Structure 1
Amino acid sequence: MSDVFTRFVLEHENDDTAKLLLGRSRWPDIDIDLAVSTIEGRRRIKKKVPQWHEIPSMIYPTRLCTEQCSSTATARYKAMLLSRLMEGRPGFRLADLTGGLGIDDWAFSAKAGSILYNEMDALLSQAAEHNFRELGIDNITVSNHEVSPATIDEVLGSFSPDVIFLDPARRDGAGRKVFLLEDCSPDILNLKQKLFDAAPLLMVKLSPMADISMAVERLNAAAPGNDVKEVHVVATDGECKELLLVAERGYSGPYTLCVAEPDRTEDTISVAEDAEKVSVPEFLQSTEELGGLKGSVLFEPGKALAKAGLFNHVSKAWGVRKLGRSTHLYVAQAGWSSPFGKSFTIEEVLPFSSTEIKSLSKRIPAASVTARNLPISSDDLRKKLKLKESSAIHIFACRIDTASGSGNYLLVTSVR
């Protein structure tokens, strides 16, 4: 892009983009559509990928490309993961068959020796080539080809990858979101055999909404066989962002389930596929113990941990007690913490009753409210409590199961 285009983007980056589109006749030498999508794209990636935002000459040709792109944290996590899978070999060769905006390849380029970036959309492919040049990356080759079993050889050409990465488009021809592997584009299930003919290792990025068991089952069922080796659940900013499936040619066996929150900690949770099934959670022994919980820690699992479904494993592995069979909250000793969720200090434990609800509404003017495993929503409970929102106090209403009995309770907590 010309310096004139870049200056226009910077001069108008805080303008109303709808007015820019309506006034396009004022700037006959500027591609207003690209300028507007770039201005809006810069707004979206300012926090998501600040390293790209710092370079004003980058271009973003569509809204979707910046909405769906990886963040710095998730891109670097994938790069770290591939480096581990490649046993730290700096010269490994990677083919990304669905390159998109190219943020993952930007991260991969710091670990890989050479990268083949392919994108089926010509507009995105051209933008990525420009952006890689602006970033000063010299180990990425850009191509623009359709990806199907019949075209894989043409896409790869003489490039012989050690690993192939795919992030299939998760929208159908009408723009509706899809979640099944076979509904994504390209169809990874039909491609799998050809991909393994070309490379020994595959990494597939899926929607965080995809069902883990179903995705693994379907990918394993596709020829050549039961080769999913690792599943990674990745969250940032308190939200589950992506699922990563790693399949290895020739591997046959159970997979390892990994939980990561790379913007909060470098640590990960790695467990066997059946870890949740074989884990027996610990519960409180009796309701009498509730009176002694003041000062204890209440732990609420984060979105990645919840997506992984490791509710019983958390209790067994970490020695924290689960409040209920279907109440995924835990109590631990004072001072305990984990980066894979939120920790609160318990101030009061009260029966869930109209009397206590009225009392709380008089004593506490503002608090965050969460209802768990009860026939009332968090919003409805907030209305009953008549509370304003506050981040300092959090009230949990939940069902608590103990060895001697069960009941519904209110836990007033302070945010740690």
Structure 2
Amino acid sequence: MHSHSPSPQDPVGDHIVRTDLTDMEIAVLDRRLPAWMECSKDKKKANFEAVCEELRALPYVTALNRNQWDSHKKEALTKYQREWTARAVVMRTKKAEITMLIQETKGAKPGEAEMISNYQWAVGQVMAKMTEEELEEAEKEAERWNNERPPLAVQADTALRKGKQYAREFASAMWKQCGMRVVILMAWQNEAERVVVSSHDFNTEVNGGRSFDHLKDIQKDWDQYAQESFGRDADAAAADTDSGVPHTGLPKCKTRLDPVELVTRGDGKPWVMDIKQVGLDLLKDLVRGYFTYHYRVACGIPNAAVPWGEVSRDQNKYLLPTYLPPNFKVGDPSKMHKKDAIILLDFWRSRQDEDEDSVLAFRRWRGMDGMLQEPVDVHSGDNRSRVAMKKKLMARRQDVLPEKTHQSAG
């Protein structure tokens, strides 16, 4: 708070309002207040816009006090952990009852928009029917979860729903803030106390990196470590699957497929597949792959990554509106909603039906110096880079196809 702003010690008599406004901003508002009070209703909007314009013209204040800095840091961090409340406990422990209430009263099914929009209402209805003792127990349960940890069923559910998201955000933050490449190995217990292992490699999504191809070389050691970490006998679990020892078949860590491969045909050309019954994760990968394919064609760099932040801030510099649905806002596909992904892919499929060679193209690409560059000229010698890039895409696709076929057969 600024030295001349009202404070609890100021002898101003009435209720004191705390504010983060600067002295200059307060002075502008004080000076403008009489005109605001006197102007007619039809002139309020113009008066308000004039005030805003004057406020925007004031010098920026970039210094943050300690409290503001701490708040800024907290908001910037991923919320991997939250404070459990009685309401949150009820949402987890009475999930089936809450879902059933919405189905019976609203006719909505899990995953539908109406189910989501009515969920908090249903939680309130369920809590309203709980006794005082039940609500008190929920409060105690929340305290236990905060001081110790949630029960295994809750942890397993969180790992299943949020594990991949947390891993992706961690990998992205490590690259952006530290310039680090990471591959993540994970292990947890599911609700049946079986040990589950998995791996995540997002390097192809983070600034055009390459996947780590040697996870299988450490898979056995990781599996054994995971079993022992949760008090399991790794040898016994592997040798005697009928012994009743909680154990699950441990999947082999796989090289993460470049999303570009998902949209590339055998002849090296891009193709948007039929997206009926396709889940959100695959939809995001298809969008990412299709954008990335055409961005690499534009710049002639086989492992280039789309600068999503720059494109989302000024997409018209990178893409002509004709290649996008009306009023469509481009952003990082990992943050897309399913509805937006379907709209975009359906739009591309309709253009593909008309002319598969004119579905999407980048008008600019971003060079290493941060400057926007013209696309590689297909009619000049620069076309060699583009042809080489397409050949590399096709070669990589041929390397991946046998592996995918083998996995499908298994």
Q: Same fold (TM over 0.5)?
A: no
Q: Which has the larger radius of gyration?
A: 2
Q: TM-score range by the shorter chain?
A: under 0.3
TM-score (norm 2): 0.28
The structure with the largest helix share of the pair is: 2
